[in-house]
Chain A
Amino acid sequence: DAKTTQPTSMDCAEGRAANLPCNHSTISGNEYVYWYRQIHSQGPQYIIHGLKNNETNEMASLIITEDRKSSTLILPHATLRDTAVYYCIVGLGQAGTALIFGKGTTLSVSS
């Protein structure tokens, strides 16, 4: 079973920051937090991942609370093309371990 809880849906205006929360209160010390997104009828796209520290890349920022029980994915300037289902996943980060998907958050970006 997925170890994360996310809101079912969120709306965001184009150009504004999209902040997507995720709860993972049972995360273990050696588990990473991964974020993927899935645009309709495509395979999931990797966004970012982190263990303890906040992370930033060209797509997004990941803020992980100090107790690691929750995190927030930030898309700094959302565009229409960011409309997708966003999945927050907790995993060991080992090559032989599958990612288990929850229901995700459907983000709708509108103009």
Chain B
Amino acid sequence: GAVVSQHPSRVICKSGTSVKIECRSLDFQATTMFWYRQFPKQSLMLMATSNEGSKATYEQGVEKDKFLINHASLTLSTLTVTSAHPEDSSFYICSASSNSLNTEAFFGQGTRLTVV
């Protein structure tokens, strides 16, 4: 299947700092990328949907000014957690889909964020 790569896989940051997570589609053009968050022992929760060249659409309860999403190209989307706090510590996962692929979406390997 198609490959989606996330970077970094793990990051530790201090409270109040910002962290950027990258999501790349390596062998296809991702017209849409999705960002999820997963807390321990819970399922994936959709945070936002981003289409290349457009502003992201955020799910209810997700602060757009805190979780900045940029999807400037068909192969790259970034999620920036601004002014991170310990409660933002979580597993962040991106997925990508394309009009040229079959109907399934492909997921990155996830980024474990720990805010200390």
Is chain A's interface secondary structure helix, strand, loop, or mixed overall? loop
* A104 to B43 CA separation, bound complex (whole angstroms): 8
Q: How big is the A interface, by class?
A: 20 to 34
Q: In the complex, which residues of chain A have a beta carbon less than 8 angstroms from the beta carbon of B108? A: 43
List residues of A whose CB falls within 8 A of some B CB.
Answer: 2, 32, 34, 36, 38, 41-46, 49, 87, 91, 93-96, 98-104
Would you give 15 A-B contacts (Cβ < 8 Å), ordered by A? A34-B104, A36-B107, A38-B44, A41-B112, A42-B110, A43-B6, A43-B108, A46-B104, A49-B103, A91-B103, A95-B31, A96-B49, A96-B51, A96-B97, A98-B105
B60 in contact (CB, < 8 A): no
Interface size on B (CB < 8 Å)?
29
Residue contact B46 to A95, C-beta cutoff 8 Å? no
A41, A45, A98: the one contacting B49 at CB < 8 Å is A98
Residue contact B46 to A100, C-beta cutoff 8 Å? yes
Q: In the complex, which residues of chain B have a beta carbon less than 8 angstroms from the beta carbon of A95? A: 31-32, 97-99, 101
List residues of B whose CB falls within 8 A of some A CB.
Answer: 1, 4, 6, 31-32, 34, 36, 43-46, 49, 51, 91, 93, 95, 97-99, 101, 103-110, 112
